[in-house]
Amino acid sequence: MANMKAAIPKGTRDFNPKQMGRRNYIFDTLKKVFKKYGYQEIQTPTMENLDTLTGKYGDEGDQLIFKVLNSGDYLAKVGTALADLKSQALSPKIAEKALRYDLTVPFARYVVMHQNEISLPFKRFQIQPVWRADRPQRGRYREFYQCDVDVVGSASLLNEAEFICIYDEALSNLGLTDFSIKINNRKILTGISDVLGKPESIIDLTVAIDKLDKIGFDGVQTELLSKGFNTSDIEQLKPIILLSGNNASKLESLKLILATSPTGLQGINEIYTVLNYLTNFTLQNAKVELDLSLARGLNYYTGCIFEVKTHQATMGSIGGGGRYDNLTEMFGQAGLTGVGISFGADRIYDVLDELNLFSASAEQSTQVLICVLGQYEETYSLSVLNHLRKQNIAAELYPFGTKIKKQMQYANDKNIPYAIIVGNEEMKTGKLTFKNMLTGQQQMMSAIEIEKHLLTQS
């Protein structure tokens, strides 16, 4: 084969041992919290049938789905003359599978397929990569991990409240101290468009006001005017989305504004209920804010909507979620409501990295390296090595034949905190040289003493 350049696809990344240590630290921290709240792990295939995914994320979303070319003579099945087909019409004919775009839709499919074996409410978490054919940017990759926690089969708003607790606990455990959990409700957004008398334009309306903090009210106004809203609509809208004050006072004002919209009032009620549930729990760092301009995941969310933003770094949202009432209906099982949240692990990684919040312990694997001067020393040391491992101490022995200098360098490069040196003298006395790589200090200790010392360290 001709020489080819070693490369990986755009928007994907390799992870080295140091990065994997840190990534696993994030996953482990999240998992621990998820389990604590009663969630169980599942996984779904990398590929789904293309028609499982299409139509769930809107037109823009559909275009970002990575499709998998059929095997074999895929053109044979096309049937029509190729030249007559547009790409969009061609792709479902030559690609029947696609890489998953998120974890929520595959989860809905899972629930329907396995409905007879799960008992409701079903609480699951799932940590797997997803793929989007998006243009890469800061904090945006084509392959990235989502960490989803969802519950289906429970309409209780206690779930929503608990998700806020999960966000707070997980992100706090990771060392973040300043972040907001924004909450809104799709029904409130519906109420607003009802009051304006433009229920059919809810998507345009919400997409525009979602950009409020980015482009300001003037920007939103410009966008709305271009979407067919008139100035009196905007005058009416202005006091609503610019509502300020604490959550309670916002809700009070909103109640008056949306008085004529039953749906809107219901949305307000749901927020009330969630906030009320929350008073029974203590949050460590999260600020819970009602944000009427929050409009995520409109293609399937029907109730509460969440989004998490850190104030410690410039980064898009590091998590989001909401309630969806109809997702399983698309797969033939109606009447099942679900609610869930997602953590963007790769973005969280970038934030923790930027803030220097990874501790060294997330990275080191081996705790002690045994360095030997020759073959006899190696043989002598194997029982020491064996004992250390039996005590659950991560230990390795550098096979003989390499200079001590090189072995120490290995320990240093690998961030191994302790080294044991075994030579003639050590074998004679049974006292091994035990070196702390951090301080550089070393002393002679028996294997037993070293073991004890290492056990008290961890």
Residue ranges binding RNA (CB under 7 A): 10-11, 58, 60-61, 102, 132, 134-142, 144, 146, 207, 210-211, 214-215, 296-299, 307, 316-320, 342, 344, 346-347, 373, 403-406, 408-409, 411-413, 419, 421-426, 433, 435, 437-440, 442
Pick 264 or 322: Cβ nearer RNA: 322
Helix 375-390 vs helix 447-457: angle between axes, to the nearest 10 degrees? 40
CA distance 357 to 300: 35
- Please provide the DSSP assignment of 335-350 as one string: S--EEEEEEEHHHHHH
Contact criterion met (CB below 8 Å) for 393 and 368: yes
Q: How far is the CB of 416 from RNA (least distance, A)?
A: 9
Helix 212-226 vs helix 231-241: angle between axes, to the nearest 10 degrees? 160
Pick 270 or 307: Cβ nearer RNA: 307
Q: Which of 69, 58, 158 is nearest to 102 (CA)?
A: 58
Pick 251 or 322: Cβ nearer RNA: 322
Q: Which of 365, 21, 355 is nearest to 175 (CA)?
A: 355
Q: How far is the CB of 108 from RNA (least distance, A)?
A: 15
DSSP 65: P
Q: How far is the CB of 369 from RNA (least distance, A)?
A: 11
Pick 16 or 119: Cβ nearer RNA: 16
Q: How far is the CB of 201 from RNA (least distance, A)?
A: 13
- Please provide the DSSP assignment of 270-312 as one string: HHHHHHHHHTTS--SSEEEEE-TT----TTT--SEEEEEEESS
Q: Is the dihedral of CA 50, 56, 60, 66 positive or negative?
A: negative
Pick 268 or 320: Cβ nearer RNA: 320
DSSP 3-state assignment of 322? strand
Structure token digits, residue 221: 């106004």
Q: How far is the CB of 417 from RNA (least distance, A)?
A: 8
CA distance 182 to 246: 13
Pick 21 or 139: Cβ nearer RNA: 139
Pick 141 or 277: Cβ nearer RNA: 141
Q: How far is the CB of 50 from RNA (least distance, A)?
A: 18
Q: How far is the CB of 407 from RNA (least distance, A)?
A: 8
CA distance 62 to 106: 15
Pick 84 or 413: Cβ nearer RNA: 413
Q: How far is the CB of 340 from RNA (least distance, A)?
A: 11
Pick 11 or 121: Cβ nearer RNA: 11
- Please provide the DSSP assignment of 222-244 as one string: HHHHHTT--HHHHHHHHHHHT--
DSSP 258: T
Pick 45 or 216: Cβ nearer RNA: 216
CA distance 43 to 46: 9
CA distance 375 to 424: 11
The two beta strands, 122-131 and 143-152, are antiparallel
DSSP 362: G
Pick 60 or 235: Cβ nearer RNA: 60
Q: How far is the CB of 347 from RNA (least distance, A)?
A: 5
Helix 17-36 vs helix 345-354: angle between axes, to the nearest 10 degrees? 120
CA distance 204 to 202: 6
Q: How far is the CB of 105 from RNA (least distance, A)?
A: 11
CA distance 22 to 358: 7
Q: How far is the CB of 76 from RNA (least distance, A)?
A: 26
CB atoms < 10 A from the CB of 395, how many?
22
Percentage helix, strand, coil for the chain under 3-state DSSP, each rounded to 5: 45, 20, 35
Pick 138 or 390: Cβ nearer RNA: 138
Q: How far is the CB of 248 from RNA (least distance, A)?
A: 27
